Structure 1
């Protein structure tokens, strides 16, 4: 079974083959147009037109098939075969158009198809499949060598070492013809190697793309973007002080629930629950710091703060409660108990960065504001409220009227481990 990276590479290969096919269709169209201006006989016009129209028709079918991801490799080989047939037949079409056997076969190697060959070879390299330019170049060398031997078998064959005579006269410069074939062969090997290197680069890029998508299972999009664009210093232990909104969220009565469900069902339940919550959190630019059993530590303003962090935190909390309400309706229909969550949010200074050693780092937040947010969430059990915030967070919201909720002060409390009291507000729809 192909890996995700290999599937991505295959998609890139398909794109390359399609580009190559479109390129060949374009070249065929140009040849068709030019033929009407330079053709010397009606036979040449008809034959070149039939060949190019047939080629464009075949290419169109190939494009349609390959876009359906069917027999990609074999379609590529078939296209190479078509290219070789065309490049082999083309000199004979031109030869017959000027008289056929009544003309010395020297004409066959004076048709200057090398430019068409080189262009087609380059188009085959766009497939990022090394075997295509390699096979094509080898096929071209063999077919052109056969044409040379066939031409030289004619007693009327004329050879010259003069480029001028070969260009203007009836003789052919055989050594130059052979050298051109040698160049095509070398170019084919070079493009095959280059394509091989590009293919490896694309595979590495595809692997990184897969890894980046896998990171989204562990980190929020904000952190992934920071990792993607970060310099080396980002991955060193340490951090910086920032003012952010910190949210703690827990499931009420989870301990008793997990005992009733058992390990396997508990993990399945948490997976579904977390997926529900992550949608609401990421939608409001939250960053998941970590899962703590059924609980979550979430920040708003990391890795980059904004004036909307406090507001986004409250909106995320409201969205999370709405998700739970909707989920409970579904749970009740399948005879499962509804759940409730507690949310606590505080705004304050924290240290944001990598904690640990260079070989094992965790991007997280630490500081007094984290402890306060945790205490506020726990207080929900005492005051029987599901959504609590600190006055510090409330004061950070610039347009509180735009939040669809009611805020009620519950007074100031001495939180565990804190000397100063903290004013707490409840948030209700």
Structure 2
């Protein structure tokens, strides 16, 4: 493998460039939203840490001599607090650039290293003193904090700066400008109980920082792939959910078994069929854009009403709509919901007709019919293309009743049995209704008692 190929793969590993190039704009935006939220969390964690250290420093007894001319910790914490406040403000405004994030990562580590370096000034002791400070452990917190963004780059920056920073402190302690060279030791006890330096211990610390950094970076590469896959599946599920009723989409999300053809249940439900009159002629007169715009307007007015009364759209049949109440989500008020929806739909369609007349457009009539009874709700189709639907005599009946609305000159029809059931379930009619006993319906063998909704409520 050529050197440029190795470099390209390393860049893809560090920056996630290959994965980023293959992402859609929607996925990138969602990842950026996660990262923006993570930066706010990081900022507040840093603010809490600063407050904690300031409180601890204030209330804890000072071990250094009282005549110490300079106390760098308050100054360091103060400057870092201002920097963190700016960082939080930029995070909320979504103005954090990659350059600023890189600088911020370096500053985090630099502040910690400067604080550790200042110990020998506070205590007026040789620099070897700070090599034994447990404060170094905070570098692992700062490195881990960068994992919240799900980008290995900033973890590698934090880890590299930490290793270089500690190496610089080690070299400074060894050189001790203006002082005699420190004594090295191979005894751990001597190292702990004196100002002697154990070189192997400092190398171990640097190696530990680098190993933790490498492991976290590798974990982030894997985690970022999972994040991308999760977001892609989430967006795909959200898109697919728009093709299903919300209750059905929830069932699919939480189902323990995948849907297969032949699954079905019997249930009591109400079915509603709606048709837009004169649509066939309009489809010849209007352009494709105008035709789809009309359908969009038609659906945008009627579908929310159906859903408001707990109805679920089973399918769109061109200019027709087939909906169910109590099939997708079982209900004891399915007939009542059906009749409430019909009254509201009549009001909405008549308002729509009035608007079209005022605009000089043809006022399209809408016919609808409903009936309640036993249906089978389940999965049909081929394994490669499945569909949830309702099947039964009630479904066939409402499609025939919908056609009968035109012959009877009424906007909506329901069977008398359905209407009585709706009344029993608590339905109170707001508009005018008319009884149509013993009506013959094309395709139905026996006469049916019907109820016509003749006027919108109000």
User: TM-score, normalised to structure 1's length?
Assistant: 0.92
* 1:126 aligned counterpart, secondary structure: helix
CA distance in 2, matches of 1:313, 1:186: 65
- Picking from 368, 389, 393, the partner of 1:364 is 389
| Corresponding residue number in structure 2 for 1:375 | 400
Counterpart contact for 2:262–2:378, Cα < 8 Å: yes
Alpha-carbon spacing, 1:148–1:324, altered in 2? closer, same or farther (3 Å): same
Counterpart contact for 2:109–2:139, Cα < 8 Å: no
| Corresponding residue number in structure 2 for 1:130 | 152
CA offset at residue 381 of structure 1?
0.5
Query: Which deviates more, 128-137 or 322-331?
Result: 322-331
| Corresponding residue number in structure 1 for 2:294 | 269
Alpha-carbon spacing, 1:38–1:127, altered in 2? closer, same or farther (3 Å): farther
Counterpart contact for 1:159–1:172, Cα < 8 Å: yes
CA distance in 1, matches of 2:241, 2:349: 22
CA distance in 2, matches of 1:107, 1:44: 18
- Picking from 216, 236, 239, the partner of 1:211 is 236
Counterpart contact for 1:25–1:55, Cα < 8 Å: no
Query: Which deviates more, 119-128 or 316-325?
Result: 316-325
Residue 162 (structure 1) aligned with residue 187 (structure 2): yes
* 1:232 aligned counterpart, secondary structure: coil
**Unaligned runs of at least 5 residues, structure 1:** none
| Corresponding residue number in structure 1 for 2:26 | 4
Alpha-carbon spacing, 1:227–1:403, altered in 2? closer, same or farther (3 Å): farther
- Picking from 93, 100, 112, the partner of 2:134 is 112
| Corresponding residue number in structure 1 for 2:105 | 80
Counterpart contact for 2:353–2:364, Cα < 8 Å: yes
| Corresponding residue number in structure 2 for 1:278 | 303
RMSD of aligned residue pairs (Cα, Å): 2.2
| Corresponding residue number in structure 1 for 2:11 | none
CA distance in 1, matches of 2:428, 2:206: 74
* 2:267 aligned counterpart, secondary structure: strand
| Corresponding residue number in structure 2 for 1:310 | 335
Residue 18 (structure 1) aligned with residue 40 (structure 2): yes
- Picking from 406, 409, 414, the partner of 2:440 is 414
| Corresponding residue number in structure 2 for 1:293 | 318
Alpha-carbon spacing, 1:207–1:121, altered in 2? closer, same or farther (3 Å): same
* 2:376 aligned counterpart, secondary structure: strand
CA offset at residue 403 of structure 1?
4.2
CA offset at residue 49 of structure 1?
1.5
Alpha-carbon spacing, 1:72–1:227, altered in 2? closer, same or farther (3 Å): farther
CA distance in 2, matches of 1:10, 1:211: 18
CA distance in 1, matches of 2:273, 2:221: 50
CA distance in 2, matches of 1:314, 1:58: 63
CA offset at residue 8 of structure 1?
1.6
* 1:234 aligned counterpart, secondary structure: coil
CA distance in 2, matches of 1:261, 1:294: 14
